[in-house]
Structure 1
Amino acid sequence: MIGFLSRSLRRAVVAVVLLLLLFVGVRVWDVQSGPPLGPWHEFVPPELSVAALDHSDWTGWMAAENAAFAATRAAVTERLDITDRVATNRWFEGSPVNPANLASDWNRSFVLEPAGPPAGVAVFLHGLTDAPYSLRHLAEAYRERGYLAVAIRLPGHGIVPGGLTEAVWEDWMAATRLAVRAARARVPVGPLHLVGYSNGGALALKHALDAVENPSLPRADRLVLLSPMVGVTAFARFAGLAGLPAFLPRFAKTAWLDILPEFNPFKFNSFPVNAARQTYRLTSALDAQLDRLAQAGRLAALPPVLTFQSVVDATVSTPAVLTRLYDRLPDNGSELVLFDLNRSMRFGPLFATGIDRVLDRILPPATRRYAVTVVGNDGVTVAATARRIVPGSDIEATQPLGIDWPRDVYSLSHVALPFPASDGLYGGAPDPTDSMGVALGVLAVRGERGVLVMDAGFFTRVTWNPFFAYLLERVGP
């Protein structure tokens, strides 16, 4: 019997090794046949360490950030090969999408001052491969309402995608702590809000949980989360395997899941294996901490959480927002706002099997300790409504929004929530005074294959939120 088990175990081990070798072989072949790495993939800008971040202030951070941008200019922009000096390369000085050629370089950390004495302060944390640009509209709204707005560029972001090959989530948490310290140093009295988008949502929540366990950290009075990265796909857990061949210099390209043209001035299109790995590490740490504090009965110390989330999201897990976060929260005034599908007859027959029931699956009838609002329509007209259920009830109150679903938009997306239609880069009706060198939100992708620098599918994902005015109304500090 022992011999049989031993033989079975050996066969299982051999099978696993063979599958791993097959996976690595296919991975190497797939990546090696793709486009080459550019200097923006290979250069890693200098960033402050976790220890340095924890001992730095805003002035020190800005000096380090300026040094990182200067080093990148010398190592990348000034050394571009002639073949890389094209309009679709954001690091080419003559490109219309080079951030230095735009009115503001929103890749950099920024502070927005209110007109008078600050009524409070808000810290803004952007998403993975993103930049502070993604939260500029919300930051401006806070500024207009009398808040000081502090938006930090997270390490590894905003400069070149090569920075994300070495950045770890602990770096991002240290930068979050720095931003919160700086915010409280500027505005020691008054409400403190943490506003996080995607990966930044996970960081904002993690900081709030850390403050429960560490009294020396400033406590937030409110969390505002947009498409928060509370749960990610199962692939992220094993993403590190995809980069194994990169230990050999010949196969350096396998450190990347995507190597794509970089024509977006404020977001990386290329995506390294390490970035996926860090999302899994961060969400795992977040889930464990939520579970630990829930079992200890300490989540009552969390501030109210207001979350905006599309019911369909190809980047983060919408069900995880409910099961891993909201179902653990106490009755503390938290609310979840879900953006439903456009259920008008125009799209209904075209939905994939089961998609039309996604809301029922993630939000079955129940009484909850938090409020739920669903923004959608009735399946007949395009007129949007907000259907709200208060904590402890199962009765809906319906509010017409006076907004129609755009007839060519069947759902929101992970990337759409923080951008109004007027956004110069992502908006569906960009403000002509807000030029970003390219208007990605208005592209109508119809034509022949092989003409665009990216697959046409890249441009079909909606990048702006038709309900942004409603979102601002609900956020209102």
Structure 2
Amino acid sequence: MILPGAEPFFLPGGPKGVLLIHGFTGLPAELLLMGQYLHKLGFTVLGVRLAGHGTTVEDMSHMTWEDWMDSVRDGYAVLSGFCDSIDVIGHSMGGLFSLLLSTEEKVRKVVTLAAPIQIAEERGIEFLPPREVCNNQFIPKARRRLKGVPEAVNKTYRKMPLIGVHELVDVIEATKGCIDKVSVPVLIMHSHDDHTAAPASAGYIYDHVKSEDRRIVWLEKSGHLLPVAAEREKVFAEAAAFLQSSDA
């Protein structure tokens, strides 16, 4: 059963579509404000829910990264039935999926928000136990309560499955393995004070995609949660300007 407020959302608009992809242990609601902003500009917007998210953390522990990628593929298929072109915006792990999707399907532009090619050192990823001992193992996931955001945003999982962290690492490796096939225009947004996805991730994406049209927008006080943080209006405006600009 999907938790109240954790459902995917669809905002019908014009012929240009935007697929929004949330991150690891996140919810579509984290991108709802951004979706509403883009919808007001005439875009048709679909915020997908990744498999095992917005239900129970135990449910999530049984999902692989390919299950999450299939959720993205399904969202693309649905949106393509309504739109002539599709842009993809992904937050955190969703940013990795947006890059991956652009190597599989006809995507016009990609926006990554705090995509973690490198996980911040303070997250202690080097202490992750081997996969074979991680089944049914969970660790606490702390997050401060946010104001002025959809209610569901503050109801994300309060623990994470260790086996899921291995799947996240696998997404990172899959992205690194095909990032040189990304050729569509890419806007990379990251905050200098991100303590989850190391800021060096932005430079890695910039240096390794083959896109001629690519740039980085840096934020200063948004941490990791760019779509709901203090500078979110700048994030929305930069993304909208990028999507509305003529193709390179």
TM-score (norm 2): 0.84
Secondary structure of 2:155's partner?
Answer: coil
Residue equivalent to 1:256: 138
Q: Does 2:207 align with 1:318?
A: no
**In structure 2, distance between residues paired with 1:307 and 1:280:** 20
Pick closer, same or farther for the CA change 1:470–1:313 going to 2, 3 Å.
closer
Shift of 1:170: 0.5
Measure how far apart 1:259 and its partner are: 7.1
Instruction: Give the Cα–Cα distance (whole angstroms) in 1 for the partners of residues 8 and 167 of structure 2.
Output: 22
Q: In the TM superposition, what is the alpha-carbon distance from 1:320 to its structure 2 partner?
A: 2.4
Q: Does 1:196 align with 2:90?
A: yes
Displacement after TM superposition at 1:162 (Å): 1.2
Q: CA deviation at 1:233?
A: 4.8
Matched residue SS, 2:118:
coil
* 1:224–1:244 distance in 2 versus 1, CA, 3 Å: same
Q: 2:224 aligns with which of 399, 414, 418?
A: 414
Match of 2:63 among 167, 172, 175: 167
Alignment correspondent of 1:274: 163
Matched, 1:120 2:1: no
Q: Does 1:109 align with 2:5?
A: no
**AA in 1 matched with 2:64:** V
Counterparts of residues 18-417 of structure 1 (less than 5 Å)? 68-69=1-2, 105-114=4-13, 118-187=14-83, 189=84, 191-209=85-103, 211=104, 217=105, 219-233=106-120, 235-236=124-125, 239-241=128-130, 244=133, 255-258=137-140, 265-290=154-179, 294=180, 298-299=181-182, 302-323=183-204, 325-330=205-210, 332-340=212-220, 411-415=221-225, 417=226
**Aligned CA distance change for structure 1 residues 162 and 468 (closer, same or farther; 3 Å):** same
Distance 1:260 1:167 in 2: 22
Cα separation, partners in 2 of 1:281 and 1:305, compared to 1, 3 Å: same
Identity %: 18
Q: Is the 8 A contact 1:226 1:307 kept in 2?
A: yes
More strand by share: 2
Letter in 1 for 2:40: E
Contact 1:256 1:270 in 2 (8 A): yes
Gaps of 5+ in 2: 146-152
Distance, in Å, in 2 between the alignment partners of 1:224 and 1:124 is: 10
Counterpart CA distance in 1 for 2:7 and 2:114 is 22
Q: Which amino acid aligns with 2:15?
A: A
Cα distance in 2 for partners of 1:260, 1:322 equals: 27
Shift of the 175–277 alpha-carbon distance from structure 1 to 2, 3 Å rule, reads: same
2:148 aligns to what? none
The structural deviation recorded for 1:135 is: 0.3
Q: 1:245 to 1:134 in 2, by over 3 A?
A: closer
Offset at residue 193 of structure 1 (A): 0.7
Amino acid at match of 2:10: V
**Aligned-partner Cα distance in 1 for 2:131–2:212:** 42
Unaligned 5+ segments in structure 1 are 1-67, 70-98, 100-104, 212-216, 247-251, 341-410, 420-463
Distance 1:223 1:471 in 2: 14
Q: Could you say which structure has the greater relative contact order, defined with CA pairs below 8 angstroms and 6 or more residues apart?
A: 2
Change (3 A) 1:119 1:160: same
Give, as a single letter, the amino acid of the residue that structure 2 aligns with 1:414.
H
Give deviations 1:9-34, integer Å, cap 9, x for gaps.
xxxxxxxxxxxxxxxxxxxxxxxxxx
